[in-house]
Amino acid sequence: MAGTGESGSLPGKMGERFDKRKSCEILLQYIDNISTQYKHKPNQIRIVMKIRLPLSVVALGAVLIASVGLTPSAEAGPKKGPSIVDIVLANPDIDEDGEGDFDTLLDAVLAADPSVLQRLSANGQNTVFAPTDAAFEAAFEELAPLGITPADLLANTDLLTLILNYHISPGQRVSKNVVKAKQIRMRDGGFLAQKAGVLTDNLDRQANIIVVDLKARNGIIHVIDNVVLPALP
C-alpha cells in the first residue's frame, strides 16, 4: 500500500514516494554532517540549516536540526550498521508479495513531528513495533466510519506523533524479552499489554507480532499486523 494523496486516495509508489525517500536520506546525511561540525553551537546549527538546506528538505525536519547531536541518549547503541530509519527506508518485503511493506510507515514518520525521525535515526536504543502497509490499510478502514480519512490522519501532526510514539518502546527489547513481559511501556507514556506475542492497546484492540528481531544499530524492529491506538482519534 502506498502513501496518501490530497484526495485521500492511495497513489502509486513512484514519483512522490521517490522524492520523500531522497529528501529523507539527504536530511539525515546533512544532520550528521552539521551536527558534528557545530555540536557545541546549537544556534549556529539553526543558521547553517536555514542558509544551506533546500526548502523541500527543511519542511521535513527543520525543528530536528537543533537537537541532533546536542542531547545524546544515555542508552548508547553500536555505531555501525543501519539505523531503524534505514531499515524502514529499505522497505523490506515482509509478506513476500514482491512489494515493500513499510511505505505507509515511512509516510507517517515523515509527516509526524520531526522528533520521531530524530529518535529513530539517533544512537539511543528503541524497540519499534512496526505496522505493515496492510495494517495501516485496515486501520484506515476502521477509522472511516468516524469520518477520518488517510489524508486527515497524515495531516494531523499531533495525533500522528502520539500514535507513532505508542509504537516505540525505550531500550532494545529482543523477542524473547518481549514475550516475557505482561506490559510494555511506550514512548507516549502509555502501555501495551502483551501475551504470547499478541499486543493489546488501550482500546482492547489486538495486534499480532508477525516478524521479530530486525536488528538495527540503534534498536530493534518487530513487525505487527495492526496499528495500535492509545485512544480514539
Does residue 9 surpass a pLDDT of 70?
no
pLDDT at 52: 40
pLDDT grade, residue 42 (50/70/90)?
very low
CB 178 within 8 A of CB 222: yes
CA 176 remoteness from chain centre: 23
Segment 3-26 mean pLDDT:
45
Beta bridge partners of 170: 126
Q: How far apart are CA 216 and CA 230, in angstroms?
A: 26
Domains and their CATH numbers in the chain: 16-224 (2.30.180.10)
153 versus 5: the higher-pLDDT residue is 153
pLDDT per residue over 172-228, tens digit each?
Answer: 999 999 999 999 999 999 999 999 999 999 999 999 999 999 999 999 999 999 999
Which range has the worst mean pLDDT, 12-21, 103-112, 156-165, 208-217?
Answer: 12-21
Q: How far apart are CA 192 and CA 184, in angstroms?
A: 5
CB 45 within 8 A of CB 38: yes
pLDDT at 97: 81
User: CA torsion angle for 194, 197, 202, 203 (degrees, to 10)?
Assistant: -140
Q: Which residue has the cell 494523496?
A: 5
Q: How far apart are CA 222 and CA 210, in angstroms?
A: 8
CB 65 within 8 A of CB 34: yes
C-alpha cell at 111: 509527516
pLDDT per residue over 43-94, tens digit each?
Answer: 443 433 333 444 334 444 443 433 333 333 334 444 679 999 999 999 888 8
pLDDT at 212: 97
Does residue 35 surpass a pLDDT of 90?
no
pLDDT grade, residue 133 (50/70/90)?
very high
As a whole-number percent, the residues of the chain with pLDDT over 90 amount to 60
Residue 153's nearest CA partner among 50, 206, 229, 61 is 229
pLDDT grade, residue 19 (50/70/90)?
low
Segment 127-151 mean pLDDT:
95
As a whole-number percent, the residues of the chain with pLDDT over 70 amount to 66
**Mean pLDDT, rounded, of the chain:** 77
Q: How far apart are CA 167 and CA 91, in angstroms?
A: 18
pLDDT at 95: 79
